[in-house]
Amino acid sequence: MDSYNQMLPAIHEWLRFNGYYYHVPGISYAIEFDGKLLTSRAVGMANLKENKLMNTETRFRVASHSKLFTATAIMELYAEDKLSIDDRVSKHLSWFKPKNRNIRIRHLLTHSSGITRDTEYGQWEHHNFPDLETFKSLLNDKFEILDLASEIKYSNIGYTLLGLIIEKVSGLTYENYMIDLCTRLNLTHTTPSLGDTEKLHATGYKMYMPNEPREPLPHVEAKVMNAATGFSSVPTDMLRFLHALMPETESQLKLDDYYKREMQNVQFSHQDNVKWGFGLSISKIDNTKFVGHGGGYPGFITYSAISPENKLAAAVYTNTLNPPELFGGVIGLLNYADKNYDKYSGKNRDLSKYVGVYRGRWRMLYIGQLNQQLISVPLSNLNPIPYIERLEPTEEDTFIIKEATPLASKGQPVKFLDGELHVGGSIYRRYEYNY
């Protein structure tokens, strides 16, 4: 855990700089290891017009994270023998009459039903979601797009159907079922619908375009589609939820370890690069398995995932469309620290006077301490890992670059003089900026 904790300042500066550089209004993030919160921080603005700062309790529309909650509820009902994941959908929704009557709950859970992603209703354009009767009317003879169980076809419609099955089987509204689930897990900043919580949210914005004003997007209720995209939350709540889904973890979920493992096992894959469990997207970062979900809502892009192997988890949320991809860099930096911590060993020394952000003509660097040496992290790279440099102390204010890319300055001295970093004729000066 020491390696992770010592990398946290570098992660914060890397996120902060890329939020600043790529015009992201605000970022909120959290990192957890084995159920213990390592950090939760926020930078930037929740509302640009009001100059309202982002904070760790600012809520985000986490959109398709809703599918994690929906899948969990289905698995709870399955564990209670109130339904089977091999039930035909039409068994519980008699009005649902697809051409292929073999569409089953498991197909909806794994996005393998072939059902359209969205209907032609256009809720993402006019910011008005359908109610139940309108939703039913939209499922005409054109909503089955691909052959059943032929490949993954992501579907908001499929998860909306799962929400309706939850209502039918449990006898509760979808929202009330989810309020109970969130209460059981102590998710105090999470709701299945917008309700009266708009003032607690960040404002979402359209993507940044040069020479164009930054346009805010409205908060709207997802209505019948809450099960697919209605949830709001914060990074710390989402990590608590993901940890509760881990086997051998005590929680108030009505699931034993078998059902948790089934959610995380690959249930359907497509061309070996897109894998899905029950509600969970499955991916690998640095050959480590992660399970989680992302969310895209008008004005918000969010991502949360946990490694079942080492219980490392992170969530990174932004209040804009088309932000840079940040989650992979966070995990990459944590993995680098864990794998290379011993390389940075040496005499016990305080290197804090060198720590900070430095700006040169070619790069922005964060100089930090890892173990007993310095680490140079390039802030201006969205994938910083290949360009990290290890600086080994030799004498007062002087270091040698022991590890670097072949095109960099490996083996050369680095000197710190009056707040400047000197290497190979280049000068990097301490840099301050507001974000």
For residue 407, what is the domain's CATH number? 2.40.128.600
Torsional class of 81: left (φ above 0), alpha (ψ -120 to 50), beta (otherwise): left
309 and 359 part of one domain:
no
Answer whether residue 116 is part of any domain. yes
User: What CATH number should be reported for the domain holding residue 41?
Assistant: 3.40.710.10
Segments forming the whole domain that contains residue 250: 23-323
Taking CA atoms, 430 is separated from 99, 264, 397, in Å, by 65, 45, 15
3-state secondary structure of 279: coil
The dihedral over CA atoms of 395, 398, 404, 406, expressed in degrees to the nearest 10, equals -100
Q: Which amino acid is at 221?
A: E
Answer whether residue 233 is part of any domain. yes
Could you say which residues of the chain have pLDDT below 50?
none
Which of 260, 288, 323 is the endpoint of a domain? 323
pLDDT at 168: 98
DSSP string, 84-124: -TTSBHHHH-TT---SSTT-BHHHHHTT-S-B-SS-TT-HH
pLDDT at 273: 78
User: Per the structure, how many domains does the chain have?
Assistant: 2
Q: Average pLDDT over the chain, rounded to whole?
A: 96
pLDDT at 270: 82
pLDDT at 141: 74
For the chain, give the number of residues: 435
Sign of CA pseudo-dihedral 216, 219, 225, 226: positive
392 and 249 part of one domain:
no
**What pLDDT digit, counting tens, does each position of 251-284 carry?**
999 999 999 999 999 999 987 778 999 999 999 9
Answer whether residue 226 is part of any domain. yes
**What pLDDT digit, counting tens, does each position of 76-88 carry?**
999 999 999 999 9
Non-local (6+) Cβ contacts of 207 within 8 A are: 320, 321, 322
Largest CA distance in the chain: 78
123 and 176 part of one domain:
yes
**What pLDDT digit, counting tens, does each position of 118-150 carry?**
998 999 899 999 999 999 999 987 899 999 999
Indicate the DSSP class of residue 212: S
406 and 291 part of one domain:
no
CB 201 within 8 A of CB 231: no
